[in-house]
């Protein structure tokens, strides 16, 4: 039951991603930022991680929003 809810959530998040034309939306089993946050962004510790599902399961770091 929980596995189905998590999978449904991940698919919904993936489909909400606006990717450039021709770039597929990846269906990831986990939030790419979940693991990236553990190591953080060494150059900018205050940066925030946002998942990007365009073309793969990617984590991107942002400063000031």
Q: What is the share, in percent, of the chain residues with pLDDT greater than 70?
A: 74
Distance CA 14, CA 47 (A): 22
Range of the domain at 57: 2-62
The residue ranking higher by pLDDT, 6 or 23, is 23
Residue-wise pLDDT for 11-39, tens only, equals: 555 456 789 999 999 999 999 998 887 88
Grade residue 48 by pLDDT with cuts at 50, 70 and 90: very high
Q: What angle do CA 46, 9, 41 make, to 5 degrees?
A: 15
Tell me the whole-structure pTM to 2 decimals. 0.64
Tokens of 60: 């991107």
Under a CB-based contact definition with an 8 Å cutoff, are residues 24 and 52 in contact? Answer: no
**CA contacts within 13 A on the Cβ side of 40:** 6
Residue appearing with tokens 């939030």: 31
Domain count, the chain: 1
């Amino acid at each position: 039951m929980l596995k189905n809810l998590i999978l449904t959530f991940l698919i919904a998040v993936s489909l909400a991603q606006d990717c450039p034309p021709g770039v597929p939306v990846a269906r990831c089993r986990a939030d790419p930022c979940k693991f990236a946050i553990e190591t953080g962004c060494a150059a900018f510790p205050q940066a925030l991680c946002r998942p990007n599902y365009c073309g793969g399961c990617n984590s991107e770091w942002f400063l000031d929003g």
